[in-house]
Amino acid sequence: MTQNDDILLKPAMVFAFLKALPLILLAITFLLLAWWLSPYFILFSLAVCAAAWYRLLYIRSFQYLVTEQYIRLTRGIFFKRIDQVEMFRVKDYIITQSFILQVFKLMYLTLKSTDPENPVIQFQGIPESSITDTIRERVLSARKKQ
């Protein structure tokens, strides 16, 4: 297979928004308190709004690259962290979908591996797909080559 067979996944924007929603609601609450009680609550609202914006951008910065030989996880805005797990180390696959994720056709994919640094690999908020079948085929191919 060639580089065109690499699969790049990112959490969906809807997923990132749902994760930041509690902070957004808190910012709105502080705005209402600023209107009713004291204008100083606007500062709290701005701080919480900035935290919500950062969380949204942080979740959207996650990248999951699935190649023939490895899985590369990249995350971070100011400080990047890149983890790489060899494909032959993957042992188990778990798909989790809460009701909200089912409504938006998203899923969590959890991979268990024998890698001591990354025993559990989570793909959060990715679109529903048959990625587990693809990963399973690539794991079997990598084990045959080893």
User: How high is the mean pLDDT of the chain?
Assistant: 92
Task: Give the pTM.
Answer: 0.87
Cite the beta strand spans of the chain per DSSP E: 7-9, 63-66, 70-75, 81-86, 90-96, 106-113, 120-127
Q: Any idea what the CATH number is for the domain that residue 89 is in?
A: 2.30.29
pLDDT in the model for residue 111: 95
pLDDT at 24 over 70: yes
> Could you list the residue range(s) of the whole structural domain that residue 40 is in?
3-145
Q: What is the mean pLDDT of residues 34-62?
A: 93
* Structural domains in the chain (count): 1
* Nearest alpha carbon to residue 104 among 132, 125, 130, 124: 125
